[in-house]
């Protein structure tokens, strides 16, 4: 029998870390998505990785999110919990041409309902370009979102990273 | 520690086609020998012998084949693939430098490094010929030690199915219609013994008619649980140059990877311990211990090797922008992704 596979969760995570020999731990920008989400507001999109203009964000899923849209594809990977993603094809573009990153909308846009998915830990949902979407989660969960740095991205490296 | 400038003249000439350089001579152990440029490769029962002008370097054959397999599968990867602390390759995306001692303080301090440049295509062809001939029937260089036979001994058959696996890359997202397929039992990907407890449930999909290819989700962890290879990332999601590369790891990363850009790691399951060193000198920098949910950058000026005591799931996040190596090398970009 093999050793059980250990996935972390919002309520059960053990953090590793950087043990320095001859370097600065800040160079490794070390954080933990469960710890970040445990201290975040619902749907606060906190950057935990940044590669020039690209980011991966830790998102605490809890209740209904605002409606969002994006000019390019994004992807959401559930790390803990269960989340529904509801999609609408807006009648009119919701984002300025060339705008990068997630755009928060004032509300559900007028348009055609595209359907929805229910995703759990380990499931990855496509957030297709041009669509509007909303996350719904009955209980606190955690998602990792692959996107581009945008107006909704929150950068607070000094608070979340090992120093 | 600073090193003396590189004095070895780097041969920038494109070498003759590799198929003219593959020796058909078979040694007494049954293995072919190979040559490209002034490098010669020979194997016996236990070792790979890398001969170059004035000297030779020896690597235990299992370690050599495991490293060679990754270098081939990754297309020489991003930056430097050190097979060990002496021999390796540096990807220049079209050409590849193959070296002895280039990233080794002792070699460099006495100017004993040796470097040749080849077209990527030619070197890949020679490397493929080497791995096909030198891998015996029971050995899989991608397999964890607990899952494969040994690499040693006299020539005994081959394992072309194992060494000719294609690298898997999604164009948009794994599982989407027309894109990289999810691994399934029917396609010959059973759940790995170490991931027998990983849920295989599927997301609930409720697309309205006409939106089936857009309202979409997959079980990425189930896909990973069926991976038949270790230390071999495959692209699972793409946002322009942002590539999520998911992989399963067990035992030791067979190479010491030297970055030419920043890459990021996200630990999905279990634990990996990374040894991080200065990219050129090899001086130890730190250890990074990663547990589930941990995120860490690997800066552009380091090299790293990972140890996974149990088969684990890891996300490597890469920026595929082809300008990055030059921008880091020129100093335009800092080696670290974030200042705080």
Taking a C-beta distance cutoff of 8 angstroms, is the pair A133, A67 a contact?
A: yes
B24 band by pLDDT with thresholds 50, 70 and 90: low
- B130, B31: one domain: yes
Chain A CB contacts of B335 below 8 Å: 27
**CB crowding A47-81: b at 16 or more within 10 Å, else e:** bbbbbbebbbbbbbbbeebbbbbbbbbbbbbbbbb
Q: Whole domain around residue B58: which residue ranges?
A: 18-163
- B25, B159: one domain: yes
- B33, B127: one domain: yes
Q: What is the pLDDT of residue B166?
A: 84
Compute the distance between CA of residue A152 and CA of residue B6 in angstroms, rounded to an integer.
47
CB contact under 8 A, B198 and A120: no
55-114 of A, contacting B, C-beta below 8 A: 56, 58, 72-75, 77, 79, 85, 87, 89, 112-114
Of A94, A148, A57, A68, the residue nearest B240 (C-alpha): A148
Compute the distance between CA of residue A149 and CA of residue A100 in angstroms, rounded to an integer.
7
Question: Strands A17-20 and B284-290: what pairing?
Answer: antiparallel
Instruction: List, for residues B127-157, the tens digit of each pLDDT value.
Output: 999 999 999 999 999 999 999 999 999 999 9
ipTM of this complex: 0.98
For residue B238, pLDDT over 90 is answered with: yes
- Domain assignment present for residue B4? The answer is no
A67 band by pLDDT with thresholds 50, 70 and 90: very high
CB contact under 8 A, B203 and A146: no
Q: What is the mean pLDDT of residues B40-60?
A: 97
DSSP string of B145-207, one letter each residue: GGGS----SS-----HHHHTPPPPB-SSBTTSTTSPPPP-TTTT-PPPGGGTTS-----EEEE
Largest CA distance in chain B: 70
Chain B CB contacts of A51 below 8 Å: 242, 262, 264, 317-319, 337
CB contact under 8 A, A21 and B285: yes
- Domain assignment present for residue B181? The answer is no
The larger pLDDT score, comparing residue B295 to residue B9, is at B295
Q: What is the mean pLDDT of residues A1-10?
A: 92
- B106, B211: one domain: no
The larger pLDDT score, comparing residue B229 to residue B24, is at B229
Q: Å from B3 to nearest chain A CA?
A: 18
Compute the distance between CA of residue B256 and CA of residue B278 in angstroms, rounded to an integer.
11
* Residue B10, helix vs strand vs coil: coil
- B159, B197: one domain: no
Compute the distance between CA of residue B12 and CA of residue B225 in angstroms, rounded to an integer.
43
Chain A CB contacts of B271 below 8 Å: 6, 16
- Domain assignment present for residue A25? The answer is no
Q: What is the pLDDT of residue B22?
A: 57
pTM of the model: 0.95
Give the nearest partner residue to A26 out of B204, B241, B340, using CB atoms: B340
- B131, B60: one domain: yes
Instruction: List, for residues A26-48, the tens digit of each pLDDT value.
Output: 999 999 999 999 999 999 999 99
CATH number at residue A100: 2.60.120.10
B23 band by pLDDT with thresholds 50, 70 and 90: low
B31: Cβ contacts below 8 Å, ≥ 6 apart? B42, B43, B44, B133, B134, B155
The residue among B209, B239, B270, B278 with the most chain A CBs within 10 A of its CB, best to mutate, is B239
Distances (CA, A) of B239 to A72, A143, B247, B259, B286: 7, 17, 18, 21, 31
Question: Strands A103-104 and A68-69: what pairing?
Answer: antiparallel
CB contact under 8 A, B173 and A48: no
Within 10 A of B138 (CB to CB), how many other CB atoms are there? 13
CB contact under 8 A, A27 and B336: yes
Chain B CB contacts of A141 below 8 Å: none
| Burial of A146 from C-beta contacts in 10 A (0-12 / 13-18 / 19+) | buried
Q: What is the pLDDT of residue B4?
A: 46
């Amino acid at each position: 029998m093999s050793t059980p596979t250990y996935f972390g969760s919002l309520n059960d995570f053990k953090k590793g870390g950087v043990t320095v020999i001859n370097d600065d731990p800040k160079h490794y920008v070390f954080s933990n998505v469960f710890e970040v989400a445990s201290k975040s507001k619902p749907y606060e999109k906190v950057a935990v990785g940044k590669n020039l203009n690209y980011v991966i964000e830790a998102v605490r899923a809890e209740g209904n999110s605002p409606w969002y849209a994006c000019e390019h594809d994004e992807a959401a990977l559930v790390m803990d919990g269960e989340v529904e993603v509801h999609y609408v094809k807006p009648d009119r573009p919701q984002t300025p041409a060339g705008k990068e990153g997630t755009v928060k909308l004032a509300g559900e846009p007028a348009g055609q309902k595209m359907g929805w998915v229910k995703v759990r830990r380990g499931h990855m949902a496509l957030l297709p370009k041009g669509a509007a979407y909303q996350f719904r989660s009955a209980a606190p969960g955690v998602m990792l979102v692959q996107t581009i740095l945008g107006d909704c991205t929150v950068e607070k490296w000094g608070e979340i990273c090992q120093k | 520690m600073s090193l003396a400038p590189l004095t070895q003249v780097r041969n920038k000439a494109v070498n003759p086609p590799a198929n003219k350089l593959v020796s058909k001579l078979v040694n007494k152990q049954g293995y072919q020998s190979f040559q490209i440029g002034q490098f010669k490769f020979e194997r016996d029962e236990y070792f790979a012998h890398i001969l170059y002008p004035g000297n030779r370097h020896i690597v235990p054959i299992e370690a050599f084949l495991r490293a060679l397999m990754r270098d081939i599968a990754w297309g020489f990867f991003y930056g430097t693939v050190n097979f060990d602390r002496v021999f390796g390759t540096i990807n220049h995306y079209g050409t590849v430098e193959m070296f002895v001692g280039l990233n080794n303080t002792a070699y460099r301090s006495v100017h004993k490094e040796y470097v040749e440049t080849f077209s990527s295509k030619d070197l890949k062809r020679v490397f493929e010929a080497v791995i096909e001939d030198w891998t015996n029937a029971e050995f899989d260089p991608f397999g964890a030690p607990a899952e494969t036979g040994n690499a040693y001994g006299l020539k005994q058959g081959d394992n072309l199915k194992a060494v000719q696996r294609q690298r898997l890359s999604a164009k948009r997202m794994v599982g989407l219609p027309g894109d990289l397929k999810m691994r399934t039992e029917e396609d010959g990907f059973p759940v790995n013994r170490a991931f027998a407890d990983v849920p295989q449930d599927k997301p609930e999909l409720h697309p309205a008619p006409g939106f089936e290819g857009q309202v979409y989700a997959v079980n990425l962890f189930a896909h990973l649980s069926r991976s038949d290879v270790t230390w071999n990332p495959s692209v699972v999601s793409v946002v322009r140059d942002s590539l999520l590369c998911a992989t399963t790891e067990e035992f030791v990363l067979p190479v010491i990877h030297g970055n030419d850009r920043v890459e990021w790691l996200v630990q999905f399951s279990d634990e990996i311990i990374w040894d991080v060193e200065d990219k050129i000198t090899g001086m130890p920098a730190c250890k990074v211990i990663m547990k589930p949910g941990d995120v860490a950058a690997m800066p552009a000026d380091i090299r790293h090797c990972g140890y996974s005591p149990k088969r684990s799931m890891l996300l490597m996040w890469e920026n595929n922008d082809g300008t990055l190596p030059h921008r880091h090398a020129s100093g335009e970009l800092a080696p670290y992704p974030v200042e705080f």
